[in-house]
Amino acid sequence: MKAVGPVIVAEHLTKRFGDFTAVDDVSFDVYPGEIVGYLGPNGSGKTTTIRMLLGLLQPTAGAARVLGYDSLTEAEALRPHVGYMSQKFALYEELTVRENLAFYGGVYGLNGTMLRRRIESVLELIHLASLAGERAGALAGGWRQRLALAIAILHEPSLLILDEPTSGVDPLARRLFWDLIYDLAEQGKTVLISTHYMDEAEHCTRLGIMYHARLLAMGSPSQLKATRLPGPTWQITVGALLPALDYLKALSGVVDVGLLGNELHAVTCDDRHTATSLAAALHSAGFRDATVVGSAPTLEDVFKLQVAAEQARGEGR
Ligand SMILES: Nc1ncnc2c1ncn2[C@@H]1O[C@H](COP(=O)(O)OP(=O)(O)OP(=O)(O)O)[C@@H](O)[C@H]1O
Ligand SMILES: [Mg+2]
């Protein structure tokens, strides 16, 4: 493997399909040992970015280096060093877990004692040993995802690129899957993982927010919360939740408000409001039971406000 600084360097990556832009001028770096999330809704350009990083798709403009290799011209040399779990990974349904591993191990060029040793090792690591003899087709969703992850790390790659590995699996299976990702990062692997789950974004060391082909922001969850919101966030307890929500939406200085469980969660700009001024406004509007306290910002706040700002910029373009 080549000596490298950043594990991934994406520079102005752009992909157009005809006159549709799927990835628009995306630049970011990933450093060794990071777990970087790539968060975005359906169709925002996550898979297209990943395919360009892996040299599976030629960028319309821009370039990428992964593990020191040029993604486009050195893709062949790069691929053995990357564990890629594609969004539409294929398992052989009629083969057992162990047979799937043996098959894909062969594809990676592993054989003999080395292959057997690696299979036992990943079965253990991914906690799949007790299911080794099960047909892949009989596995529940979360276990299929684990088998796909086991396959992706068979050849001991130093970088994992996981494209929505947890989509469609239940919350418990998602938690367990993330435990495995932490284990792998602890062993020194670098991880780039795409997701559209906000709760998963919280687990990442850094996070990029994709929306309509553009990378709107990138940073650690705490950095994004500290720097990407226009002002403080508030928790509002009130009986008439929905009328109070409508009232706050229209109140000057409130940039975002939504339901959070049985309460309201609001973001205001700069120093326009204090807990006292917000409570006073609510009281005088007839919400006499309303109480307001400062609260912690959420990544959802960051996401919603970045998207709103991008939409406003789009209208201005
Ligand atoms: N080969 C292609 N030809 C034309 N359009 C494409 C092609 N591949 C992707 N697109 C379009 O580019 C956009 C981005 O797609 P992409 O698959 O990268 O999104 P994504 O963020 O991975 O979405 P999802 O969460 O649904 O997987 C989509 O509108 C998609 O329809
Ligand atoms: Mg995708």
Per-residue pLDDT tens over the stretch 144-157? 999 999 999 999 99
Q: Which helix (H) or strand (E) holds 23?
A: strand 20-30
The per-residue pLDDT for 130 is: 95
pLDDT digits (tens, 9 = 90+) for 5-50: 899 999 999 999 999 999 999 999 999 999 999 999 999 999 999 9
The CA distances from residue 216 to 92, 241, 288, 307, 316, in Å, are 38, 31, 39, 8, 16
Residue 75 forms part of a structural domain: yes
| Ligand 1 pocket test target in 13, 23, 47 with most atoms within 8 Å of CB | 47
Residue 317 forms part of a structural domain: no
The per-residue pLDDT for 4 is: 57
The per-residue pLDDT for 272 is: 84
Does residue 96 line the site of ligand 1, with CB under 6 A?
no
pLDDT tier for residue 241 given thresholds of 50, 70 and 90: very high
Identify which ligand lies nearest to the alpha carbon of 40.
1
CA of 58 to the centre of ligand 1 (A): 14
216 and 266 housed in the same domain:
no
240 and 212 housed in the same domain:
no
The per-residue pLDDT for 2 is: 58
As a whole number of angstroms, the distance between CA 38 and CA 210 comes to 7
Among residues 15, 19, 57, 69, which one has the least CA distance to residue 210? 15
Q: Which of 200, 225, 250 is the last residue of a domain?
A: 225
204 and 287 housed in the same domain:
no
Nearest residue CA, atom 7 of ligand 1? 17
Phi-psi region of 213 (alpha: psi -120 to 50; beta: other; left: phi over 0): left
The per-residue pLDDT for 5 is: 85
Nearest residue CA, atom 18 of ligand 1? 45
CATH number at residue 178: 3.40.50.300
CA of 55 to the centre of ligand 2 (A): 16
Residue 3 forms part of a structural domain: no
pLDDT tier for residue 213 given thresholds of 50, 70 and 90: very high
Residue 309 forms part of a structural domain: no
Please determine, for residue 269, whether its predicted confidence score (pLDDT) is greater than 60.
yes
As a whole number of angstroms, the distance between CA 69 and CA 75 comes to 7
Please determine, for residue 159, whether its predicted confidence score (pLDDT) is greater than 60.
yes
As a whole number of angstroms, the distance between CA 88 and CA 84 comes to 11
Please determine, for residue 194, whether its predicted confidence score (pLDDT) is greater than 80.
yes
142 and 170 housed in the same domain:
yes
> Can you give the pTM of this predicted structure?
0.93
Torsion of CA 273, 278, 279, 283, to 10 degrees: 140
Q: Which amino acid is at 42?
A: N
pLDDT tier for residue 199 given thresholds of 50, 70 and 90: confident
Identify which ligand lies nearest to the alpha carbon of 18.
1
**Residues above pLDDT 70, as percent of the chain:** 98
Domain tally for the chain?
2
Q: Which residues of 209-231 are buried (b: 16+ CB within 10 A; e: fewer)?
A: bbbbbbbbbbbebeebbeebbeb
pLDDT digits (tens, 9 = 90+) for 53-79: 999 999 999 999 999 999 999 999 999
The per-residue pLDDT for 311 is: 87
CA of 253 to the centre of ligand 2 (A): 36
pLDDT digits (tens, 9 = 90+) for 93-145: 999 999 999 999 999 889 999 999 999 999 999 999 999 999 999 998 889 99
Please determine, for residue 206, whether its predicted confidence score (pLDDT) is greater than 70.
yes
The per-residue pLDDT for 312 is: 85
As a whole number of angstroms, the distance between CA 146 and CA 135 comes to 14
Does residue 168 line the site of ligand 1, with CB under 6 A?
no
- Do the Cβ atoms of 66 and 78 come closer than 8 Å? yes
Domain extent at residue 110? 8-225
CA of 47 to the centre of ligand 1 (A): 7
Residue 292 forms part of a structural domain: yes
84 and 168 housed in the same domain:
yes
pLDDT tier for residue 1 given thresholds of 50, 70 and 90: low
Please determine, for residue 3, whether its predicted confidence score (pLDDT) is greater than 60.
no
Residue 262 forms part of a structural domain: yes
